[in-house]
Structures are given as structure tokens and as C-alpha cells.
Amino acid sequence: MTTAPERAIEQRDALGEPSDPYPQGQVGRPVLRYGGGDRTSGAQRFVADLRFPGSLQVALVTVPVGCADVLGIDTTAARAVPGVVDVVTAADLPSPMPRFGVSHTDRPVLADGRVNYHGEPVAAVVAKTLDAAQAAARAVRVDHRELPGVYTLDDALAPGAHRVQEPSLRPGHALADTNVLEEAHYAWGDLEAEEARTEVVVEETYTFPMVTHFPIEPGGTVAVPTDSGGLDVYSPVQHPYLLQRTLASVLGLPLNQVRVFAPDPGGGFGGKQNPKLEPLLAFLALRTRRTCRLVLSLEETFQSMRRAGCRIAARTGFTADGALTFHHVDADFLIGAYADVAPRVMGKGSYVAAGPYRIPGVRIDARAVMTNTTPSTAFRGFGSPQVSWALESQLDAGARRLGLDGLEIRRRNLVAKGEAFVRGESAAAADGEWHQSLEKAAELIGWGTPLPPGRGRGIAVGIKPGATSGLSQSLVRLLADGSAIVYAGTSDMGQGARTLWQQIVADELGAPLDQVSVVSGDTGTVPFDLQTSASRSTVFMGSAVLEACRDVRQRVLALYAESTGVPPEELEERPGVLVTPEGELPLPEAARTALGSLRGEFIGQGTRRLRGKGKHPLGGDAAFYEFNATAIEVEVDRETGELLLTRHVTVSDVGTELNPLQVVSQDEGAAIMGLGHSQMEQLLLDEHGRIRNLGALDYRIPTFKDVPVELVSAAVENHDGPGPYGSKGISEGALLCTAGALGAAVADAAGVVIRDLPLTPERVWAAIQAAEAAQ
Amino acid sequence: MTSTARVPDHLDDDGLQTVTLTVNGSERTVAVPTHRTLLDGLRDEVGLPGTKSCCAEGECGACTVLLDGKSVNSCLVLCVEAEGHQVTTVEGLSDDGLTDLQEEFLNAGAVQCGFCIPGQVVSAEYLLRTNPEPDEVQIREALSGNLCRCAGYQRIVRAVQATAARRSER
Ligand code: FES
Ligand code: FES
């Protein structure tokens, strides 16, 4: 019987040529997940599993509306609860209130006189037990006056609307007096001239819901004051070094006094990138001089992270033979009460609002619109799924008008490798053979073959810019016995980064796989890594690890020459070996000889730096693009509106699969997550700005039963990525265009076009009813 | 469980109730407030944090354990209700090393962030004990109460199938 990884490989082989840069090596093999044993046995320690004897528990105090002035806070009753150590309000924190944020320094440590979204803490209770903390939190009296908060795009953009942000936070900014936080504009070509030669114009408006990350690990923070006046902070954060910098800055401490331990996140998906409640915990720990611990409930997690909703009005032109002539987009991103990274989501998402297509005339106007809602943040796809939903639907609408099918219209417009799809000052060209993914997806879905009645197919493509600047540093220690330790600051939140470092080091230094260990998640011992986001780690940290291995080999060569007297120019280092005049020596052996009886070790350092470009609207050219083609076959139940996905194919352009098993896991996971926002997920607010479906009971994410009957993940490998061995990032591709493919499949199956996500049974049913009534 | 719940007849001075239960084969006695869930009791009092907490309302399956051999969401059971009962957590599925099922989870690439995995493993183990040769539909049905946001669902189904095949060969 074959093992599962062997079968995964066979599956992959049957779908295309797998690559293998080192046929004997570990790279390219389905190596099992580093740390996987602990993750299945229950031994893995997430932040809530760490024990801090004597620690104090924290509970947050909120008000039951989305927007309010805080008139007074009475903590008397709360302080009287046995076990309560401290009750902290804005008045107890430095004045002016310290603020933080990655794009705007706008987020207060605690609400400062004004609650801007439902769930924003106005006070925190610190107590000896969680029961006491929670009881005291309920006993805090917050006298507040509800304000006419803005919860929708229309509310926020209406004349005279309540302003979410204090204008003083954006002094001198032209938009400071509006709810528009930032705008982005991209344009090229002559739209009027293009329209003049256009045969068919499609003009429609699309909406994409607010959705929440719903990591199964809600997360939390523990802050431990140190004897030297600093802090150790434990948080399952994707960017430990950003958290370190943020805390140092709000506390006025040097970086070395803030040590961030980042236990592996139990799912991040972007939601655990940026600091949220950690600064509050830091202040509590410094005030009480005690360890303070806060573990979030799932409801609190919903209130601390979400994806920006979006409304996109699009006008798109086609020639009679289906060539795109122009595309004009107005995209309003519904962001939250604080900026977080939302302006960048808007700017980067809308940058690719014209997709991977050859369009001579384009105009994109996008806005990040603040509302009194949970601050939206990075979420797998980073703005691309929103704009892709509109664009892919527009392509299918054009195709239907022209009598073309979804595959053909994409064939005619998709750019070839090297061809520009963004033109003008900040141009970008295709960095992959993207047609291959499209064709492979079509082939694997059986495009064009007959279907039973009630079934339909759709196909769509999506792109997302990778990181536009970055810095990853790594250390690799080759120890005297040939084993190795890698220090790499990437957060391993499920993508399996550490497995790749292990594979790379095993091949590059000739160490057995199980003798390579990886240290991460501690800013006190592991060198700097800018962030774990944008599917960058394979490319950035992977390159840094690769370079650190080369550095180790060069040091082995130099010391070997010194120890043995062989002139260095007669030696050569290669992956896994030192070539000597007598022949190839396995690197561990050469290292042993070089180190001699004193032993010791070799320490290699690697850095991968991508400097941004000052003038580029994204801050620089993307290091790579994630490209994906998705094809879906669906059966629509006309009586209930329910969708049965009979086949779902995702094909990602991955450069090189360093670990096919992990590629498949990530790709399938992204595909199903994409089905979440396409089919069922949406945060619903009431008139007070409260999330109505707050929690797992009412907010549905895909389960085992929602997985398509057949789910096929395939890859295109041309070894054309900038990462090690020609790799690219791959973790987001499969959800970029899920919605477009599903929408097209539903239209094909049921003859109804729906422009609002998610495609719930109610919506599909209503559309079918409306279509039947119209006949 | 509710039917077998015992109303505590006395509380100690701190309002705590003494509960004796068998966890992974060993008898354990803990003192907990009566509202404490079995999930929190296992994690905080018994000291077995392998069982995870997410929704705390019976919707995600992260907290799945076996209670007298039957899978339950431990966030929906009060610790005091477990008095005198047998609890098996993920830590207790094997005495040493990984079980065949856990190995197949790894082999299939089913483990991403890992947070849902203890619950998945316990639910899948329960399924295989009650239905040694489940088909794919039965696997999906049996595990539908266990959410995985990394969405390794198809990988988990493969892992369960591979384990069933391995066990049938024995
Ligand atoms: S934590 Fe028990 S079911 Fe979610
Ligand atoms: S592995 Fe991450 S939630 Fe299941």
C-alpha cells in the first residue's frame, strides 16, 4: 500500500511534471510537517496553553453600541469584587492617550472618551481569577451616550455624516473632514477613444461582504514585566518584530527591553498581523508589576479582525470579438473605525482591479471609507478577492452578450508572459506563463463536455501582487556533529514555513532532515524578519536561509583550508559537499575536519532585502504575482436555491513546489476559504452597529459538508519565481477568484446572474424566482 | 449528559465542588466552581491543555473529548457532571508516540496550524471505533461538527480513510 504522500505525489505527477531541483534531496519532496507530531498529539503549546503561575487575568469592558461618547466610568463596584487588583480606564493611561497603527497612528490603547466600534474596550479589569475579572467587568458602570454612528458605505458617505475619525488625527489632510481615509487612482490609455471602438458595454455594481477571519484559535496576549523594567510579551502574532517596535514606541522603551515571544498562531490568515490589544496588556503589566493574561473569546476575536467589505461599480467595454477595450472601476472599501492596514488593502487591491488582462483603457478610483465597525485588516487575498469578483463577473457578462464562453473570453484577453497588464507609471508585466494555468483548469474541469440539466460550469482567474518591499534575516548554525539549527523569524501559522527551512538546510548543508531544527517566535534570539504576510516567506526568508547556508559553506571552506593546508583556490563548496583535490567530501565531514578537536560550530548569516521604490504607488514592484485559475462545476437546486459543488479545480502558478504536500494543503485550504465568502459568510450589523451574527452559532464557515464533491488542486511549475529554486508564494491564490468562478457556474446552471456575495440559498432562490416571474 | 448530572449537595468554603473523574485512565480529583466546564477543568485543573477552546458553545468541535467512550464537546459539559465518569482526551489516545490515525493525519498533509487537530483526531477516532469502515459521506457527516479554518477537510478525510485501511489490514 502506498503512503498518503506518495499518493499525493502520484496525483501531482498525473496532473503534470513535478520538478525536482535535487533529485536525491529533500527540496521538492512531500516532507512531513515540521512540528506536525506535536500538532496531532496535543503537545503543541499555543498561547492559551502556556502557564504563568501567579498571573493575573484580564477582562475587557465595552458598551453595547457601535458609537458613543463615554460620559463617565464608575469603577467602585468593580473594585469591590474580591480578587480584583486593578480597574484601568483611559484616565489611568498617559495623556495624551498613546496611539499606534501601521498606516496611521490612530488607534488608542483604550477608548478615549469615544467608542468608535462595538467591542472597543473602554476599561480593563485585572483580577486574580478569570471569574473575578469577568464579574468585575460586568460591575463597571459606563455612562455613555449613543451617537449616530455610520455602519454602511451610504451612511458614511452621506453629506453631514457622523465623522468616524477626529480630524485632528489627520492634520492638514485634504480628506480629514470626511469619512474617506485614503484614495487610490490608477489610469492609463484613452477611455473615450476606446469606448468609441467598443461593441458591447457592461455596466454593473457588485458587492462583497464584510467577513471575519474566524481563526479556530481565538488568540490572546500575556505580558510579563521584567526585573529590568522591560516586558516579555507572548502573542500569537504574525509579525513579532512589528509588535516589538509598536510596544517599544508606545511605552517609550528601547527595543531590547521588549521581547516578543510568538507561539505559533492557530491560524492567522492576516488577522494576527498587526498589534491590537497587546499595548493595553503591556500597560496593565507595567502598572501592576504582575503578569497579565488575556485570552480572547471567539466573539472578541470577531470584534478585532475582519476583511473590508466592498462595493464596486464597473463599466467594461468589449470589441465584437471579445477583446477588452476599457474598464472603469469605482471601488469603495468599507473599512472600520481605525486604519490598521486597510488603506493599503484598498490601494494594493485596486491596483489589480483590471486584472491580468490586456486592457488599453483603464481608470480605477478607489476609496477606503471609515465606518464605526471593527477595524478591517489584512485577510488572505488582501483586497484582490473583492476587485476580482467584479472584474471576473464583468468578463462573463461580456462573454454572454457576445456569445463566447468563459474560457474563450479569458483566452483572448489574458496577457502573455512579459506583457504588461498594468500600464502607465507603475506598470507591471506578467511574470508567469499564466495561460497554462487557465488551460489546465479548463482541462481538469472538463470544459466543454456535456453536463446534465441543472448543472453549470464557471472559470475565472485571479492575481495578487506579492510583497513590494521586505527584509528577512536568518542565521544558520552548523554544529560540530553535522546537525544544524536555523533561526528564522517567520511565524509558522499553518503554512509550514519551518518545514521548508528544514528541507533547504538539509540539502544545502548535507544534514539529515531530522538533524535540522528551527528556532522562531522569539525576538530575543531570532534575527529580524519584517513580517509573515503576502505569501512572502518562501521567497524572502527562504532566500535568506539559502544565503546563510552558502555563508556556512564558505566558512567551512576557509577553515578547512586553514586546518589542512590545502590552498583555498583548490577547494570548492557546493550544496551538501566540499570539493577537495581528493574528491567530494560530505559537508558535515569537511566541517568536522575543519573544526578539529576544539569543535565549535559555523555560523552563517543570510539577508534578503527588497527595497521599495519611493515613487511607486505600492511602494515598489511586487516581488512576484500569485496567479490562480479556478473552475467550478455546480448543481443548483431550483426549489431551494441550494448549491452542490460537484467539482472544484484550482490551478496555481507556483514556480517550483518546494513541498508538494504543503502546496496542496494551502491551495485546498484557500479554495475552501474562498467558498466561505462566496457562499455563506457575511457579518451582519444591527442599527446600533453591533454584529448580529456574533459567534460560531450564527456565523457560518465551510464545514466538511461544504467541501466540493471533488476538489482538485494542481500546479503549474516553470521554475520562474524569485524564491529558492524558482519558487513563488502560493498561499492565497486559490481564493482570489473563487467567487467569480462560482458566480459564473451558477449563471450557467440556473440562468441567473447574482452580483452580491455571498451566494446564499436565499439569494439564489430569490433570483430564480425573479427570473421565472419575469418570463 | 444532562440526565446524569448530579446536583452538588455541598460546596466547600470557596464555593468549590470536589469532582473525581477518570482522565486517560487515572483517577483525578479537582475542586472547581460548579459552573466550570469540563473543557476548562481538563485544561486548567487537570493540566491537559491538548484539548482546545474556540467557540465555547458547542459549534466548532475543537474541545472534543470522549466521555465514557462517546465523543462530546467538552465545552458543553460541566465539570461536575463528569463526576465518576471516564474521560479520554487527545493526550490519552496513545500511551506513547503517535497513533496510526495521528500518523495518517500527518501523512495526508491534514495538519496546518494544528489548532483544530486534537478535536479532529478525537472525533475521527470515535468514528473509526464505532464504524471501522466509513465511506466518504459518513466521514464528512461524522466530522461535520469539527471546524477547520485552514480547511484541511479533504486531507482529513484521506487520513481517516487511510487509517481505516490500515486497521482493516491488521
Ligand atoms: S469550543 Fe467546544 S465546540 Fe467549540
Ligand atoms: S489545522 Fe488550522 S484550523 Fe484546522
Q: What is the atom index within ligand 1 of the atom nearest the CA of B56?
A: 1
CATH level 2 (architecture), domain A309-467+616-774: 2-Layer Sandwich (3.30)
Ligand nearest to the CA of B65: 1
Beta pairing class for A711-716 and A643-653: parallel
B48 CB neighbours in chain A (<8 A) are 42
A3 CB neighbours in chain B (<8 A) are 107
Q: How far apart are the first and last CA of chain B?
A: 35
**CA A46 – ligand 2 centroid, Å:** 13
User: Nearest-CA residue of chain A relative to B141?
Assistant: A705
In the prediction, which pLDDT does A608 show?
95
Quick: pLDDT tens for A338-389: 999 999 999 999 999 999 999 999 999 999 999 999 999 999 999 999 999 9
**CA A75 – ligand 2 centroid, Å:** 40
Task: Cite the DSSP H helix spans in A304-450.
Answer: 342-351, 384-402, 406-413, 434-445
CA distance A126 to A281: 10
C-alpha cell at A89: 480606564
Sign of CA dihedral A30, A32, A34, A40: positive
Name the superfamily (CATH) of residues A47-147+219-295. Answer: Aldehyde oxidase/xanthine dehydrogenase, a/b hammerhead (3.90.1170.50)
A contact test, residue of B111, B158, B166 with most A CBs within 10 A: B111
Nearest-CB residue to B112 (from A4, A669, A696): A669
Ligand nearest to the CA of A214: 2
Q: Which residues of A161-198 are buried (b: 16+ CB within 10 A; e: fewer)?
A: beebbeeebbeeeeebebbbbbbbebebbebeebeeeb
C-alpha cell at B132: 471501522
Closest-CA distance, B43 to chain A, in angstroms, reads: 8
Q: How far apart are the first and last CA of chain A?
A: 57
Sign of CA dihedral B154, A672, A492, B122: negative
In the prediction, which pLDDT does B95 show?
78
Range(s) of chain B covered by CATH 3.10.20.30: 17-92
**Amino acid identity of A106?**
D
Report the range of poorest mean pLDDT among A68-77, A392-401, B89-98, B113-122.
B89-98
Q: What is the atom index within ligand 1 of the atom nearest the CA of A696?
A: 4
Which residues does residue A70 pair with via DSSP β-bridges, in sequence order? A144
- Asked whether the beta carbons of residue B102 and residue A662 sit closer than 8 angstroms, the reply is no
CA distance A636 to A643: 5
A298 CB neighbours in chain B (<8 A) are 54-56, 60
Closest by CA position to B122, among listed B58, B28, B33, B52: B52
Residues in Cβ contact with A35 at an 8 Å cutoff, skipping those fewer than 6 apart = A44, A264, A492, A498, B114
Residues in chain B: 170
Pocket of ligand 2, candidates A38, A214, A216, A661: which has the most ligand atoms within 8 Å of its Cβ, to mutate?
Answer: A216
Residue A364: enclosing H or E segment and its boundaries? strand A361-369
In the prediction, which pLDDT does A2 show?
39
Residues in Cβ contact with A561 at an 8 Å cutoff, skipping those fewer than 6 apart = A567, A568, A571
Residues in Cβ contact with A173 at an 8 Å cutoff, skipping those fewer than 6 apart = none
CA distance A407 to A40: 42
CB-based contact (8 Å) between A684 and chain B? no
- Asked whether the beta carbons of residue B111 and residue A217 sit closer than 8 angstroms, the reply is no
Q: Is the pLDDT of residue B148 over 80?
A: yes
**CA B32 – ligand 1 centroid, Å:** 20
Closest-CA distance, B163 to chain A, in angstroms, reads: 10
A40 CB neighbours in chain B (<8 A) are 98, 102, 105-106, 111, 114, 117-118, 121
- Show the CA angle centred on residue A95, arms to residues A92 and A99, nearest 5°: 100
CA distance A541 to A531: 10
Closest-CA distance, B60 to chain A, in angstroms, reads: 7
Nearest-CB residue to A696 (from B48, B57, B156): B57
CATH level 2 (architecture), domain B100-169: Orthogonal Bundle (1.10)
- Asked whether the beta carbons of residue B112 and residue A214 sit closer than 8 angstroms, the reply is no
Question: Where does residue A383 fall: left (phi above 0), alpha (psi -120 to 50 degrees), or beta otherwise?
Answer: left
| Residues in the ligand 1 pocket, defined by CB under 6 Å | B 53-56, 58-63, 73, 75
Q: Is the pLDDT of residue B8 over 60?
A: no
CA distance B110 to A192: 52
Q: Say if residues A711 and B154 touch (Cβ distance below 8 Å).
A: yes
* Window 593-652 of A, Cβ < 8 Å to B: none
Angle between helices A384-402 and A406-413 (to 10 degrees): 110
Q: Say if residues A208 and B54 touch (Cβ distance below 8 Å).
A: no
Indicate the average pLDDT of chain B: 92
- Asked whether the beta carbons of residue A41 and residue B91 sit closer than 8 angstroms, the reply is yes
Which residues does residue A309 pair with via DSSP β-bridges, in sequence order? A334
A49 CB neighbours in chain B (<8 A) are 43, 49
- A413: buried, middle or exposed (CB in 10 Å: 19+, 13-18, 0-12)? buried
Residue A461: how many other CB atoms lie within 10 Å: 30
In the prediction, which pLDDT does A283 show?
98
Does the active-site annotation cover A681? no
**CA A294 – ligand 1 centroid, Å:** 19
Nearest-CB residue to A704 (from B144, B149, B165): B144
| Cα distances (Å, whole numbers) of residue A553 to A23, A156, A577, A579 | 21, 59, 8, 11
CA distance A109 to A338: 12
Topology (CATH level 3) of domain A470-610: Aldehyde Oxidoreductase; domain 4 (3.30.365)
Closest by CA position to A676, among listed A758, A581, A575: A758
- Asked whether the beta carbons of residue A266 and residue B115 sit closer than 8 angstroms, the reply is yes
Decide which of 3.40.50.2020, 3.10.20.30, 3.30.300.30, 3.40.50.180 is the CATH code for B17-92. 3.10.20.30
- Show the CA angle centred on residue A277, arms to residues A271 and A283, nearest 5°: 155
- Asked whether the beta carbons of residue A216 and residue B154 sit closer than 8 angstroms, the reply is no
In order, the DSSP letters of A637-685 are -TTT--EEEEEEEEEEE-SS-S-HHHHHHHHHHHHHHHHIIIII----B
CA distance A110 to A107: 8
C-alpha cell at A529: 524578519
CA distance A711 to A311: 30
Closest-CA distance, A102 to chain B, in angstroms, reads: 25
CA distance A245 to A225: 17
Torsion, Cα of A488, A493, A497, A499 (10° steps): 110
**CA A658 – ligand 2 centroid, Å:** 21
In the prediction, which pLDDT does A235 show?
98
Range(s) of chain A covered by CATH 3.30.365.10: 309-467+616-774, 470-610
**CA A216 – ligand 1 centroid, Å:** 10
CB-based contact (8 Å) between A493 and chain B? yes
Where chain A has pLDDT below 70, the residues are 1-23
Any ligand 2 atom below 6 A from CB of B112: yes
Residue with the bigger pLDDT between B15 and A504: it is A504
Closest by CA position to B128, among listed B150, B147, B156: B156
**CA B150 – ligand 2 centroid, Å:** 4
Sign of CA dihedral A374, A377, A380, A386: positive
Residue A89: enclosing H or E segment and its boundaries? strand A84-89
Q: Say if residues B57 and B73 touch (Cβ distance below 8 Å).
A: no
Residues in Cβ contact with A424 at an 8 Å cutoff, skipping those fewer than 6 apart = A186, A187, A188
Residues in Cβ contact with A687 at an 8 Å cutoff, skipping those fewer than 6 apart = A151
Average pLDDT over residues B142-151: 98
A220 CB neighbours in chain B (<8 A) are none
In the prediction, which pLDDT does B10 show?
44
Average pLDDT over residues B139-155: 98
CA distance B70 to A25: 45
Catalytic residue among A582, A732, A762, A772: A732
Closest-CA distance, A665 to chain B, in angstroms, reads: 6
CB-based contact (8 Å) between A42 and chain B? yes
- Asked whether the beta carbons of residue A4 and residue B139 sit closer than 8 angstroms, the reply is no
In the prediction, which pLDDT does A764 show?
98
Detail the DSSP E strand segments found in A276-340. 292-295, 309-318, 324-334
CB-based contact (8 Å) between A236 and chain B? no
In the prediction, which pLDDT does B14 show?
63
C-alpha cell at A348: 494594493
C-alpha cell at B149: 479554518
Range(s) of chain B covered by CATH 1.10.150.120: 100-169
Which residues does residue A470 pair with via DSSP β-bridges, in sequence order? A610
- Asked whether the beta carbons of residue A4 and residue B109 sit closer than 8 angstroms, the reply is yes
In the prediction, which pLDDT does B60 show?
98
In the prediction, which pLDDT does A11 show?
44
Q: What is the atom index within ligand 2 of the atom nearest the CA of A216?
A: 3
| Cα distances (Å, whole numbers) of residue A317 to A271, A331, A390, A512, B96 | 37, 18, 14, 58, 65
In the prediction, which pLDDT does A24 show?
74
CB-based contact (8 Å) between A250 and chain B? no
Average pLDDT over residues B68-94: 97
Closest-CA distance, B169 to chain A, in angstroms, reads: 10
